[in-house]
Structure formats: structure tokens, C-alpha cells
Amino acid sequence: MPTPLPPFDWDIFCCVVDNFGDIGVTWRLARQIEQEGHGSTHGSETKVRLWVDDLVSFARICPGLNPELNGQWQQGIYIQHWHDTLPVDVIPASVVIEAFACELPPAFIDKMVQHTPPPCWINLEYLSAESWVEDCHGLASPQRVGNQSLNKYFFFPGFTPKTGGLLCEHGLVQARERWQQDEAGLAAYWASLGLPPQGEDELRISLFAYESAALVSLVEGWQANPAPVTLLLPMGRAVADVLRGLGCEGRVVQAGDLLQRGNLSVKLLPMTDQAGYDRLLWSCDLNLVRGEDSFVRAQWAGRPFLWHIYPQEEQAHMVKLDGFLDHYLEGLPEESAQWLRAFNHALNQGDNTSELWAKWPQYDAIWRQHGRDWSQKLLRDGDLLTRLVKFLESRI
């Protein structure tokens, strides 16, 4: 007989929408809860259960995961394959998180209502910098279940004290500082990727983006750059545009390949776990990132970055991009802020970036310092989990 599962303090539900974004956020949240011990109502250890509908995608950022199993422990978290049929003996945890409006199974909601006391139900929303988020953060939405009512609370990550903040595990910034100051460690890291130590005037850039014609002009600009450029390119959706910029469209490539053209070297990388991706961001001079999870991690890297936001109909994503840039660019000299806004717009609109990239040497130092200052500013009012626990304490 299988070993009975312990009571859980947290249930987190995730529907994998865009391969790695939603699961990336919820996996980080689950691990931070378990590592920092938030909960522990059932003994000395916090018990977290993560419900995921697509274990194949999840396994690409959690290599130890077996997609064939219905339930398994990974890094202290119980991973439950989420499908139409719930386990017959399931008992809801004290806190239930519905990540990104993924809609809990009706049968699970029924069990929540039957539980005494009922769980605190949180709808963890997508990250947004738009002004309306402050007004909606923390609001309750009464849910009618049969002849009973259960509140669902909206929790919005964000960039101001009146929102839920950003995911950041304790000690992350200190670990980043140690990594970036360890020259021998950095040399060993580059060697592990099949690269020599970084040259004195060489730029190293990571690229994890969606498809964009802007990438073609960027790659062309990097080939003509006065100083050497090495592009670290995880296998993904941007590879075809990079190959087009190199003039080798349609070429079959694989992780480990090194392509060279002009002053640009392109190193293709396999997908990595989240810790490996953090180290890549910490090590590069510029990071091009996409979606939500890599976007947030680029900010904790304290380095210059460009955000390729998920495209939406009627240019709705550009409103979200500008909402973030209004916060991020505050305090920068006007000229550099205008350049950086234009650079983000060009990447997201598929525009030619040649003139923008040519100004990199002019703004590089300002941008580097701003990246470090920004990461410190974001933590002044606490990280997302710290704010979430405070929110729950007043409701459980």
C-alpha cells in the first residue's frame, strides 16, 4: 500500500500555459515556502503540495521529475499530477493558491467548503505594473458553493508597497553578490559551458525571448560591434531569428554548438534548471528575457536587461510594458531613460535596433549602476512571500 500523505499546509494549483512561465513562478514559490518554513501547522516541517497539469514541460526545469508518476516528492515538495479525477482521499490544505486564475476543480472547492475551518483561498494573479492593480490587490470575491459562501482573495504581485511585491527568496541578493565577485568561480562557470574566461573588453549576453524581427538586427549589430560579443542562447523560440541574423537560416543546430560570424560568437545552451538560469543571468553583461519568471529573475541579477513581454491582441502588452518602464526608469537621466524605453519598444515591436545598439557604450555604465540600485529598491517593503504571509495572518 502507498504511504498515506501528510496533511498539507499549502496547496498550489498551476495550469501550464506557456511552457515555463506559470510553472516557473509557482515552482519557485513552492520551494521558497518549504525552505523558509512558512506554515508548519502539522509539525516541524511545512508541507507544500503543487498541482500541475503538464508534467512534461515541468520536467524541463526540474530534471528529477518523472512525468509518468501521478504523485511524487521533489525537493521537499509533493508534486501532484492535476487531471480530471481527484485522489479520493484528498484533504485541502490550510492555504489554497489558485495561480493565475487557473480555476480550481469544482470537486476540490466542494471539499474546501466542507473543511472546518475552510482554507484561505488566494488567487495569485499575473505580475503587472499598471496603476489599477493597487486598487484590486487584497480584495475579496465571495464565491457561492451550494448554500455556502467562501471568499477568494486577489493577490497581485507588483512594484509598489500597495501590491504583493516580487518573489525573492531570502539570501538571493547576497548569493548573487558572492557569485559576481568570484573571478575564479566565474572562470570555472564559463569553462563548464565550453567557453574561455571572459575577455577584458568582451560582452557576454544571454537571450531567452519570443520570436521578433528585432533580434535579426540585434544579431547583425553584434557581428559588427567593435568589441567581441558572446551570445548565450538557450534552445528555444528565438533560435530561428538568431540564425537568420547570422545568415544561416534553416541550419540544424543543437545545444553545445558554437557559431561565429564577424565579432559575434553564439553558444547554444540546453535548457537548465532555475538555479542554473539564475547563474547565467548573474554572469552576463546584458540579459534579454521574456514572460514573467525570467523577467523577475533578471531584475534580481542587478544587470542591464530588456524585457520581451508576452504579445497580446490590440497591443495590450505595450501598455503593460510602459507601466513597468514608468517605474523602472524613474530617476534615470532623461536621455538614457528615453533610449532605454525606445530599446524595449523596438524589441517588442520587431523594429530595427541598429541605431539603438550603437549607443550602448554611451549608456552602459549608467544602466549597470541602475540595475543594482533597482534590485535593492524592490526589497524595501518585503518580497512577495513575506507580504503574502502577513496578509494570511490576518485571515486565518
**CATH number for the domain harbouring residue 213:** 3.40.50.2000
Q: Give the pLDDT confidence score for residue 368 in this predicted structure.
A: 95
92 & 211 share domain: no
Q: Which residues pair with 232 in a beta bridge?
A: 206, 267
CB-based contacts of 191, cutoff 8 Å, min separation 6: 197
CB-based contacts of 58, cutoff 8 Å, min separation 6: 16, 23, 27, 52, 65, 67, 79
Helices 274-283 & 293-301, crossing angle to 10 degrees?
40
3-state secondary structure the chain: CCCCCCCCCEEEEECCCCCCHHHHHHHHHHHHHHHHCCCCCCCCCCCEEEEECCHHHHHCCCCCCCCCCCEEEECCEEEEECCCCCCCCCCCCCEEEEECCCCCCHHHHHHHHHCCCCCEEEEECCCCCCCHHHHHCCCEEEEEECCEEEEEEEECCCCCCCCCCCCCCCCHHHHHHHHHCCHHHHHHHHHHCCCCCCCCCCEEEEECCCCCCHHHHHHHHHHCCCCCEEEEEECCCCHHHHHHHHCCCCCCCCCCCEEEECCEEEEEECCCCHHHHHHHHHHCCEEEEECCHHHHHHHHHCCCEEEECCCCHHHHHHHHHHHHHHHHCCCCCHHHHHHHHHHHHHHHHCCCCHHHHHCHHHHHHHHHHHHHHHHHHHCCCCCHHHHHHHHHHCCC
How crowded is residue 74: how many other Cβ atoms within 10 Å of its Cβ? 18
Asked if 302 and 286 count as a contact pair (C-beta separation under 8 A), the reply is no
Q: Is 278 a catalytic residue?
A: no
Q: Give the pLDDT confidence score for residue 19 in this predicted structure.
A: 58
Q: Is 53 a catalytic residue?
A: no
Q: Give the pLDDT confidence score for residue 1 in this predicted structure.
A: 41
Is there a domain that residue 322 lies in? yes
Q: What does the block give as the cell for 230?
A: 558572446
210 & 359 share domain: yes
208 & 127 share domain: no
Domain count for the chain: 2
Q: Give the pLDDT confidence score for residue 316 in this predicted structure.
A: 86
Catalytic residue among 34, 285, 292, 383, which?
A: 292
Catalytic residue among 22, 241, 293, 383, which?
A: 22
Range of the structural domain that residue 26 is part of: 10-165+381-393
130 & 219 share domain: no
Asked if 343 and 306 count as a contact pair (C-beta separation under 8 A), the reply is yes
35 & 74 share domain: yes
82 & 70 share domain: yes
Q: Give the pLDDT confidence score for residue 346 in this predicted structure.
A: 97
Asked if 307 and 324 count as a contact pair (C-beta separation under 8 A), the reply is yes
131 & 197 share domain: no
Cα gap 312→128, rounded to integer Å: 14
Is there a domain that residue 1 lies in? no
Buried b (16+ CB within 10 A) or exposed e, 128-139: bbeeebeeebbe
Is there a domain that residue 4 lies in? no
Is there a domain that residue 17 lies in? yes
19 & 77 share domain: yes
Cα gap 296→289, rounded to integer Å: 9
137 & 178 share domain: no
Is there a domain that residue 133 lies in? yes
234 & 299 share domain: yes
Is there a domain that residue 5 lies in? no
How crowded is residue 161: how many other Cβ atoms within 10 Å of its Cβ? 11
Sign of CA dihedral 93, 94, 100, 106: positive
In this prediction, the residues of the chain whose per-residue pLDDT falls under 70 are 1-4, 18-19, 39-44, 396
134 & 159 share domain: yes
Sign of CA dihedral 53, 55, 60, 62: positive
The pLDDT tens digits for 259-299 are: 999 999 999 999 888 999 999 999 999 999 998 899 999 99
Is there a domain that residue 107 lies in? yes
Sign of CA dihedral 195, 306, 252, 274: positive
Is there a domain that residue 2 lies in? no
Q: Give the pLDDT confidence score for residue 5 in this predicted structure.
A: 72
272 & 207 share domain: yes
